[in-house]
């Protein structure tokens, strides 16, 4: 099942890599057609005023602005998980300067090609993109000062593995800052089981308390949620994945979908 979900995500994001930002923002967090009539910019934050912003690298797939809360310093070594076309990497590179280094990891060939093309055009020698799975990163221990990620870990089937890998590659005293999608309560099974929604940011999400517990159990401390925003999915969309009774129960139980930006230290 896990391998199947990864293949679905890889296939979807291969398509997304060749779409424009406007196409991605008007679909399910980058999906191709599952809710094309809904403006999904409610997930994303604007990078346009950030130093180092590269419009061609911004596919509108994020759900926060992790670089703004990551505490990145000049000269740091930074790793971006699920780096896509390189958006967060280039913003991070503006902060670390020539003395630092930024690595992006992604498992989608089309995204890597787009990121490498953007980097070649920009001419950065201290930005690199590598292919790899976040659950089993082909990276050495204790390498990075900061790990960042934007709306990616919710798509990883085994979050325990992902956070274990993050703490492994961080240097002692290093930290992560990720923006991600979490839940309050549990979404109905029909919604979670739907592959299109899984590759569209929502169904891969888990309960916020469970998310934080995984971080704690992975060995992190000084956990802090910097920003939290409720994501309101229109009823017309939710009814594609559940019946009216399920929707009413979801509202009664005050189950919600949120984007959060969270940091924690090794």
Q: For every residue of 122-167, which 3-state class applies, written as one string? A: HCCCCEEEEECECCECCCCCCCEEEEEEECCHHHCCCHHHHHHHHH
Residue 211 DSSP symbol: H
39: β partners: none
Pick from 160, 175, 148, 264: which is nearest to 218 by CA? Answer: 160
Domain covering 2-265, topology = Rossmann fold (3.40.50)
Strand partners, 231: 257
**Predicted local confidence at residue 90, as pLDDT:** 97
What's the pLDDT score for residue 29?
46
Q: Are 103 and 79 in contact (CB under 8 A)?
A: yes
Q: Is 99 exposed, middle or buried (0-12, 13-18, 19+ CB in 10 A)?
A: exposed
Quick: pLDDT tens for 86-128: 999 999 999 999 999 999 999 999 999 999 999 999 999 999 9
Task: Provide the strand spans (E) within the chain.
Answer: 77-81, 101-106, 127-131, 144-150, 170-184, 221-231, 256-265
Binned at pLDDT 50, 70 and 90, residue 49 comes out as: confident
Least confidently predicted of 13-22, 85-94, 207-216: 13-22
- As a whole number of Å, the CA-based R_g of the chain is 18
Residues recorded for the chain: 266
Domain limits of the chain?
Answer: 2-265
- Which tens digit of pLDDT belongs to each residue from 178-199? 999 898 887 777 776 664 555 4
The least confident of 68-82, 142-156, 250-264 is 250-264
């Amino acid at each position: 099942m896990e391998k199947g979900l990864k293949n679905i995500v890889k296939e979807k994001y291969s398509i997304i890599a060749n779409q424009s930002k406007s196409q991605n923002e008007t679909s399910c967090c980058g999906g191709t057609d599952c809710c094309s009539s809904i403006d999904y910019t409610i997930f994303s934050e604007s990078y346009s005023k950030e130093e180092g912003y590269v419009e061609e690298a911004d596919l509108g797939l994020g759900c926060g602005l992790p670089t703004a809360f990551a505490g990145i310093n000049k000269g740091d070594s930074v790793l971006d998980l699920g780096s896509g076309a390189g958006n967060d990497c280039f913003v991070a590179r503006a902060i670390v300067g020539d003395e630092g280094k930024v690595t992006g990891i992604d498992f989608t060939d089309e995204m890597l090609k787009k990121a490498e093309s953007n980097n070649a055009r920009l001419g950065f020698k201290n930005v690199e993109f590598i292919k790899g799975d976040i659950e089993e990163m082909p990276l050495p221990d204790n390498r990075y000062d900061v790990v960042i990620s934007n709306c990616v870990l919710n798509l990883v089937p085994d979050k325990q593995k992902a956070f274990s890998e993050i703490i492994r590659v961080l240097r002692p005293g290093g930290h992560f800052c990720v923006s991600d999608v979490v839940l309050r309560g549990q979404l109905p099974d029909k919604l979670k089981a739907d592959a299109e929604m899984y590759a569209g940011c929502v169904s891969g999400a888990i309960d916020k308390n469970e998310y934080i517990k995984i971080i704690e159990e992975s060995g992190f401390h000084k956990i802090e949620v910097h920003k939290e925003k409720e994501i309101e999915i229109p009823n017309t969309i939710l009814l594609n994945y559940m019946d009216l009774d399920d929707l009413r129960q979801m509202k009664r139980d005050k189950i919600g979908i949120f984007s959060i930006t969270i940091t924690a230290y090794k």
